[in-house]
Amino acid sequence: MEAKLKNESVNRVILEAEHIDFSYDNGYKVFENINIEAETGKFIAIIGPSGIGKSTLLRILGGFLKPDSGKIKLMGKQLYEPTPEVALIHQSIVTFPWMTAEENVMLSMKTKNMSRNEMVEKAKVSLSRVGLEGFEDLYPKEMSGGMRQRVAIARAFAANPHVFLMDEPFAHLDELTAEGLRQDIYNILFSGETPLKSVIMVSHNLTEVLELADEIYILNNIPASIIGRVEVTMQRPRNPRSDEFNSNLDMLYGYLTPPRNKR
């Protein structure tokens, strides 16, 4: 088994969550003492049962929600609110239907001091990066789900983020499209052509997580806390049909499913 529990502290941390506690308005405590670190060049996955609060945690990491206590730090500086340096990619495919693919991508540059020509140029680069060269003038409703998710990713890229927060980004796609996009996305993420340094993805799809992640944080219990941190050291590209992959999968299932009584 290549994966092993990781205990040692890490360096070159880009985004970190320190002692995060969070409750909903009705007083329900969602998280208790959550600690997460995302290093440069690492693809981090957060897994946990449905309803545990994975998407909420991602929004706390992005500054969209304020924790009751604890801190989020981006490259050592405390993060108080959403910033283009930490881009959130949603589970539901969020494209603006009244804008073309190019205009959707240009949206993330509107607050920057850039001329329209510069924005158009950069949007074209971002779209071609996700394989949408030649589709700049299409409206989202003229595109497939996979293409629209690529537009959303291109929009996130165009903001030059250091960290990507991905909230089950392949959940609404069919298996074949998701598989193709997963591979493409991984290759783009760390191609070195962008300032992107790290990715944090939440998912309940363990196969997807094992295919992509370098480190996996496991959320469980009520209120949710990190019950384990796994480093995945399998060689890439990873083959979901290999024995090694399956044994890693079994280990993750072990974390998430309660032990069954033997008959």
Binding site for another protein (CB under 8 A): 22-26, 56, 59, 62, 64-66, 68-71, 76-78, 80-84, 86-88, 90, 92-99, 107-108, 110-111, 139-141, 148, 155-156, 159, 172
Q: In whole angstroms, how close is the CB of 132 to another protein at the nearest point?
A: 17
The C-alpha atoms of residue 34 and residue 17 are separated, in whole angstroms, by 7
The kind and range of the H/E element at 126 are: helix 116-129
Nearer to another protein, 82 or 223 (CB): 82
Closest CB to another protein among residues 42, 59: 59
Task: Provide, rounded to whole angstroms, the least separation between the CB of residue 69 and another protein.
Answer: 7
What's the Cα-to-Cα distance from 109 to each of 112, 151, 166, 184, 225, rounded to whole Å?
5, 14, 20, 24, 36
Residue 97 CB, nearest distance to another protein (Å)? 4
Query: CA dist 163 to 41, 86, 228, 261, Å?
Result: 10, 5, 22, 42
Q: Which residue has the tokens 């924790």?
A: 67
What is the 8-class DSSP label of residue 92?
S
- Kindly tell me which of 92 and 233 has the beta carbon lying closer to another protein: 92
**DSSP-derived secondary structure letter, 107:** G
Question: Rounded to the nearest whole angstrom, what is the least distance from the CB of residue 150 to another protein in the complex?
Answer: 14
99 versus 256: smaller Cβ distance to another protein: 99
Closest to 199 in 3D by CA, of 211, 210, 190, 208: 190
Measure the CA–CA gap between 260 and 263, rounded to whole angstroms.
Answer: 9
Q: Shortest Cβ distance from residue 162 to another protein (Å)?
A: 13
Spell out the residues 6+ positions from residue 39 whose beta carbon is closer than 8 angstroms to its own.
10, 11, 12, 13, 14, 198
> Which one, 25 or 243, has the nearer CB to another protein?
25
Q: How far is the CB of 184 from another protein (least distance, A)?
A: 21
Residue 108 or 198: the one with the smaller Cβ distance to another protein is 108
Query: Which residues are CB-contacts of 247 (< 8 A; sequence separation ≥ 6)?
Result: 1
CB of 141 to another protein, least distance (A): 5
For another protein, the closer CB: 92 or 242: 92
Burial class (CB in 10 A: 0-12, 13-18, 19+), 54: buried
